[in-house]
Amino acid sequence: MNRTSLILCLTLAAICGLAVNLFAAAGEEIYQVEQGFKLIPAVIMITMLCVYVGVGFLSKVSDTSGYWVASQEIGKFGNGAAIASDWMSAASFMGVAGLLYLKGWFGLGYIIGWTGGYVLLLCLITAQLRRFGKYTIPEFLGDRFDCHVVRLLAASVTVIITITYAAAQFKGIGLICGWIFGMSYTASVFFAAGVVTAYMLVSGMAGVTRNQQLQYVVLISAFMIPLWVLIKKAGGAGILPQLEYGPILSGLMEGSVAGPPLSPEEALELRRTFLPWGMGNFYQFIALVFTLMVGTAGLPHIMIRFYTVKNEDIARKSVLWGLFFIGLLYWSSPVYAVLGKFWNPNGGPTVADVIILSAPERANLGIAYIGYLASGAMAAGLSTLAGLLMTGASAIAHDWYATVLRPECTDKQALMVGRIFTAIICIIVIVIALKPPALIAQIVAMAFAIAGNTIFPVVVLGIWYSKSNKYGAMASMIWGFGMTLMAMVGWILGIEFFGPEGLMPATSSALIVCPIAFLLNIIVSNVMAEKVTEETADRSDNILRKLHNLPGNAAEPRNKNVAFFH
Amino acid sequence: MAIKKRVYVNFFRPSTPSMKAEARITSIVIVLWAILSYGIPLLIYLVGLGDPSGSGESFITRSRFLGFPLHYWLIAQGCTVGYVLLCKLYCTLWDKRVARGNPRRKSL
């Protein structure tokens, strides 16, 4: 069986579950969700959306400061919640449980990949980036290597990651709007885009961050509450569902389910799903986990979070809290998956799609709760989208425009360009979301590979290896990005090597590409060391002193951009 | 007047006391991280090699912990809880080893 493409199809299904699929949803009754306008949930959801926009409006940025980095005044819980909410997309909210439902034990690779990456991020990158203290990842790379090519490369990669990742959010949002308002997919894309653009343009990063804290609370509570009811229904004590689904899972492996007894073949299949290598082999597991980890640690919209806090101490602690908040969701997702298998052992992707959205009905939580759950899922999508658009727009407006193209521009112009590009990126994303290329889910999975292969190595070496210079950085970025693209094209063309069973599956390519990118960076940097001018080396040294609190850090000339951003 | 001696930073050969402390706690956490992320799957793989069907059945998949099949618990909760604890460990070690040795950092 073609496993990796199965994963992709399932991810595709989970992320993209178009409204049409819902109508056709087969499976048990409780695993269906009804399409069409629902008054009470709709009112609740609209109210919540107004609250989101209202919060953004109240924390409106009047004096142009803090559009990018929220005036660097966010605390550790707040920033932790913002990291979590930035991270947890509509796909995480609705898709992970479905993935675990279909992939069983193998699906856990996604969970540890997406959480373990934060450990890397914390110990290798966080504190140093915060000490650098400026605003975007391309800016860090551009300054560290004193090279506009590196800056532009990094900015372009950031924009590419942003756009693909953001387009996928609309899929999830479309699913929700179809469910609550009975909107068509096209209408919901415009609806969501309107909401997100409105509050972003009004408020900037401060509003987005404040919203993300609120949205985290809404989404995590909406996600977890049904569990207590459901676990009781399945025979648990209903105290801590995350610890109570074990016996049910053990039962599943012995073939005991809620409905009529399974045939021996079905029971065997079910058992295989939850055995380690039933759905994928050891190499595939490790490659997936590694790719997701370095990808997570290399995602620009997560890294940018550390600039929004007061000092590096809070930056570190906010990763700790962020990971804990993310953990709450990932400890709960398997419960849904296992209960899903318990009640409906043979469901396919259509059941997996709606495993979360159908939860309130299964738990008899009432019509109002449906609205709350939808607001939570919507919050997940919107907050990720806002964080992404912010990062993408800052890469263009700050790193392309204000630093490279028009260094002489004024504060007002830079901010204006920032707003314009927020809107432009939003439009591009809408266009892609409306007419998605057939393979959008693959491309999104590729966002992790791109981040892990391109951004992660160059940032880590930039911080921890003083000999790394612009030539090494360029070589490793071009290698990482090129190989990821090649793997993607190879995958689409069906070349064995990049295929699901191949040595370098496109979505898990980092296990091979990322270490080579490190190596290449080191080798090229050493070979080309002679070519680096004194001036460039001086500037790099100055940045390194700052990163590692070394003595002799010369104060940088405070150009107006720096003044503006404070 | 710029200092002409080049700054030297290398994770494996840290040059200043505070960088040494940082690199040291980072290595501790990364080693533990690697054991969690790759050691546990490797263990499950190795003990499961004996399963002729290739799905990796072993005493780990047969044992139960808190009612969970052990191999499932180890990844779903063991690893993820472990990561949070590792982050906590990192922050604690930092406060102890790095921040104490360098009062300047606290004022940052």
The beta-carbon contacts of A245-249 under 8 Å, at least 24 apart in sequence, are A245/A334, A245/A335, A245/A338, A245/A339, A245/B68, A246/B64, A246/B65, A246/B66, A246/B67, A246/B68, A246/B69, A246/B73, A247/B67, A248/A338, A248/A339, A248/A342, A249/A274, A249/A338, A249/B67, A249/B68, A249/B69, A249/B72
Q: Assign A538 to helix, strand or coil.
A: helix
Structure-block tokens of residue B78: 């063991």
Q: Do A293 and B36 touch (CB under 8 A)?
A: no
Alpha carbon distances (Å) from A231 to A32, A327, A353, A360: 19, 19, 20, 13
285-304 in chain A: CB under 8 A from chain B: 285-286, 289, 293
Q: Are A360 and A123 in contact (CB under 8 A)?
A: no
Predicted pLDDT of residue A438: 53
Q: Are B76 and A116 in contact (CB < 8 Å)?
A: no
Q: Best of B31, B35, B55 to disrupt the A interface by mutation (most A CBs within 10 Å)?
A: B55
Place of tokens 């790095």: B98
How many angstroms away from the CA of B59 is the closest CA of chain A?
12
| Cβ atoms A422, A389 nearer than 8 A | yes
Question: Given this model, what pLDDT does residue A56 score?
Answer: 72
Minimal-distance CA residue of chain B relative to A112: B80
Total residue count of chain A as it appears in this document: 566
Q: Considering only the beta carbons, identify the residue of B18, B30, B55 that sits closest to A123.
A: B30
Higher pLDDT, A443 or B2: A443
Residues of A in contact with B41 (CB under 8 A): 276, 282, 285-286, 289
CB contact under 8 A, A330 and B80: yes
- For A64-95, the pLDDT digits (tens) are 445 555 555 667 788 888 888 888 887 778 87
| Closest residue to B87, CB basis, from A124, A131, A323 | A323
* Per-residue pLDDT, A199: 67
Measured in angstroms, the CA of A449 and the nearest CA of chain B are apart by 18
pLDDT of residue A240: 85
Cβ neighbours around A287 below 10 Å, total: 23
Count Cα atoms within 13 angstroms, Cβ side, for A19: 20
By CA distance, what is A271's nearest residue in B?
A: B55
Residue B100: how many other CB atoms lie within 10 Å: 12
The confidence score (pLDDT) of residue B3 equals 46
What is the residue-level pLDDT of chain A in tens, covering all 566 positions?
344 444 444 444 444 333 333 333 333 445 666 677 878 888 888 888 888 777 777 765 544 445 555 555 667 788 888 888 888 887 778 878 888 888 888 889 888 988 999 999 998 988 888 888 777 888 889 888 888 899 999 999 999 888 888 887 877 787 788 888 888 888 888 888 887 777 677 666 566 777 778 888 888 888 888 888 888 887 777 788 888 888 888 888 887 777 777 788 888 888 888 888 888 888 989 998 999 999 999 988 888 777 777 788 888 888 899 999 999 999 998 998 888 888 888 777 777 777 888 878 777 787 888 888 888 888 888 888 888 888 888 888 888 888 888 777 777 787 788 888 888 888 888 888 887 665 556 667 778 889 999 999 999 999 999 888 889 999 999 999 999 888 888 887 878 787 777 788 878 888 999 999 999 999 999 998 888 888 888 888 888 888 888 777 665 544 434 333 32
**pLDDT band, very low/low/confident/very high, at B59 (cuts 50, 70, 90):** confident
- How far B93 CA lies from chain A's nearest CA (Å)? 11
CB contact under 8 A, B71 and A105: yes
Residue B16, SS3 per DSSP: coil
Position A24 scores a pLDDT of 34
Tokens 């005044």 belong to residue? A73
Place of tokens 């709606």: A354
Q: What per-residue confidence (pLDDT) applies to A520? A: 93
> What does residue A27 show for φ and ψ, rounded to 5 degrees?
95, -170
d(CA B5, CA A181): 66
pTM of whole model > 0.90? no
In sequence order, the β-bridge partners of residue A309 are A74
Instruction: Please check whether residue A256 is in contact with residue B35, taking contact to mean a CB–CB distance below 8 angstroms.
Output: no
For position A72, what pLDDT does the model report?
57
CA-CA distances (angstroms) from residue B78 to A155, A415, B41, B66? 37, 46, 12, 12
Chain B residues with beta carbon closer than 8 angstroms to that of A278: 55-56
Look-up: residue for tokens 């699929």? A21
pLDDT at A453: 93
Q: Which residues of A touch B55 (CB under 8 A)?
A: 272, 275-278
3-state DSSP assignment of residue A343 = helix
